Amino acid sequence: MSEAAFQALAEPNRRAMLILVRDQPRSVNEIAEHFQITQQAVSQHLKVLKDAGLVAVKRDAQRRLYIVRPEGFESVREFLEDFWPDRLQRLKAAVESERDG
C-alpha cells in the first residue's frame, strides 16, 4: 500500500486538481485558475501528487502539462477492494445478468 498516495489524496485541493487533469492535460497556470491559492501553492500540491505517482508531467513545446497516472491509483484500489469484495461480485453478476437478458 502506498502511504504517499493516501496522504496526497487526503487533501481536498489535491483531489480537485486530480479531477481537473483526469480528462485533459493542464499546465500549472490552467490549474491555478480554478483555485483561490497562489500558483506556487498549486505547484507544491502538484509536486506531492507527482511524488506519490498519481500524476506525471508531459512536455508540450514550452509547457509542462500534468496528466493523471491511472497506475498510481492501483494501491488505493487494492486497499479499497478488501472492504467490499462481495459488493463487486454482486455488481458484476447483476451487470452480466442484465447483459445476458
Overall domain count for the chain = 1
β-partners of residue 26 are 66
Residue 82's pLDDT band, with cuts at 50, 70 and 90, is confident
Residue span of the structural domain in which 31 resides: 3-100
Q: Tell me the one-letter amino acid at 67.
A: I
The pLDDT of residue 32:
97
Residue 1's pLDDT band, with cuts at 50, 70 and 90, is low
Burial of 35 (0-12, 13-18, 19+ CB in 10 A): middle
Longest dimension (CA), the chain: 54
Share of the chain above pLDDT 70, in %: 97
- Identify the three-state secondary structure at position 75: helix
Please check the confidence at residue 89 and state whether its pLDDT lies above 90.
no
β-partners of residue 63 are 60
What is the CATH number for 67? 1.10.10.10
Residue 58 in contact with residue 46, Cβ under 8 Å? no
Higher confidence at residue 86 or residue 51?
51
pTM (two decimals): 0.80
The pLDDT of residue 101:
67
Please check the confidence at residue 86 and state whether its pLDDT lies above 80.
no
